[in-house]
C-alpha cells in the first residue's frame, strides 16, 4: 500500500496496459536502489545534489469516502529518471537494467527521453545513461554523445555489450557508494582534477598522519 496526499493506494493485479500491479514497480529496483543510496551519500557528503523524479500517476477510480485510490496507472515519464547539480554543471540521466548478456534493447528507453538527453546536452548539461547487465553483474556509464552516435550510425534495435565496453565506462562496485557514477563524471568531464574521492583519500591520509603523530607524542617519541 502506498500513501499519496493522505490517500491510501492499493495495487491491483491487472493484465492490460500500464495498470499498477504487484511486482511492476520492482522492475529495475536493484539499480534504482543503488543509485538512490549513492545520491543520498553524495548529499550527506555535500558532493552533489541529484534527485529521482517521481513517476507520474493517473488516478482512475478514487473512493473519497474511504480515502482509497482503487485504480491508477503509471504514466509514461515526460523526461528522464534523475537530474541535479554537480560541480556547477547540470546532470541528467536515465537508468535501466537488462537481463540480456549480449545487448541492451533500445526499446527500453523512450525516444522522447533520448531526445531530452540530447537537448540538455546541447545546452551544456552532462547527460548520460546508466545500464546494468544483471546476469553479468556489470554496470556501464554511457554518455549521450556516444548514445546519439550509435543511433545515427546503426540501424540496430539494440546496443551490443561490446559497444558499452568500448565506448562506455564500467562503474565498478564499491562499498560506499556502491554505484559511484560521480567518479566517472570526474574522469570524463573534469579530468579527475576535481575528484571528490581524491580529496577524501587525501583527507584520510592526513588524519592517519595526525593520529600517528599523536600516538608518538603520547609515547614520548617526539
pLDDT, position 23: 37
Q: Mean pLDDT score of the chain, rounded to an integer?
A: 80
Q: What is the mean pLDDT of residues 114-123?
A: 95
Rounded CA separation 139/132 (Å): 4
Provide the grid cell at 142: 554511457
Cell 515519464: give the residue.
77
Residues in the chain: 222
Q: Are 100 and 162 in contact (CB under 8 A)?
A: no
Q: What are phi and psi of 202, to 5 degrees?
A: -65, -40
Peptide bond into 89 cis (omega under 30): no
Q: What is the mean pLDDT of residues 108-134?
A: 95
Q: What does pTM read for this prediction?
A: 0.70
Cα 199 to the center of its chain, rounded Å:
23
Question: Model confidence at 15, in pLDDT bands (50, 70, 90)?
Answer: very low
Provide the grid cell at 221: 617519541
pLDDT, position 91: 97
Which tens digits make up the pLDDT trace of 69-89?
777 665 555 678 899 999 999
Half-sphere exposure of 43 (CA within 13 A, CB side): 11
Which tens digits make up the pLDDT trace of 147-184?
999 999 988 999 999 999 999 999 998 888 999 999 99
pLDDT, position 213: 78
Rounded CA separation 215/196 (Å): 29
Q: What are phi and psi of 64, to 5 degrees?
A: -70, -30
Instruction: Specify the higher pLDDT residue, 129 or 60.
Output: 129
pLDDT, position 14: 39
List the one residue out of 4, 93, 112 whose CA is nearest residue 50.
93
Report the SS3 class of residue 199: helix
Checking if the pLDDT of 24 tops 70, the result is: no
Q: Are 49 and 43 in contact (CB under 8 A)?
A: yes
Lowest mean pLDDT among 1-15, 50-64, 145-159: 1-15
Amino acid at each position: 500500500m502506498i500513501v499519496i496526499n493522505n490517500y491510501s493506494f492499493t495495487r491491483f493485479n491487472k493484465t492490460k496496459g500500464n495498470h499498477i500491479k504487484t511486482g511492476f514497480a520492482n522492475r529495475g529496483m536493484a539499480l534504482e536502489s543503488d543509485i538512490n543510496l549513492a545520491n543520498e551519500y553524495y548529499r550527506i557528503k555535500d558532493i552533489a545534489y541529484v534527485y529521482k523524479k517521481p513517476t507520474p500517476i493517473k488516478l482512475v477510480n478514487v473512493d473519497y469516502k474511504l480515502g482509497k485510490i482503487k485504480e491508477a496507472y503509471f504514466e509514461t515519464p515526460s523526461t528522464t529518471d534523475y537530474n541535479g547539480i554537480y560541480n556547477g554543471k547540470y546532470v541528467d540521466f536515465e537508468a535501466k537494467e537488462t537481463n540480456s548478456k549480449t545487448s541492451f534493447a533500445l526499446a527500453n528507453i523512450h525516444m522522447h527521453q533520448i531526445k531530452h538527453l540530447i537537448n540538455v546536452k546541447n545546452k551544456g548539461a552532462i547527460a548520460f545513461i546508466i545500464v546494468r547487465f544483471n546476469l553479468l553483474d556489470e554496470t556501464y556509464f554511457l554518455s549521450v554523445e556516444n548514445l546519439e552516435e550509435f543511433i545515427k550510425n546503426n540501424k540496430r534495435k539494440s546496443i551490443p555489450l561490446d559497444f558499452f565496453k568500448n565506448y562506455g565506462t564500467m562503474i565498478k562496485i564499491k562499498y560506499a557508494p556502491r554505484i559511484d557514477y560521480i567518479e566517472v563524471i570526474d574522469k570524463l568531464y573534469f579530468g579527475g582534477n576535481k575528484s571528490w574521492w581524491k580529496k577524501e583519500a587525501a583527507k584520510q591520509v592526513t588524519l592517519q598522519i595526525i593520529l600517528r603523530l599523536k600516538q608518538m607524542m603520547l609515547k614520548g617519541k617526539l
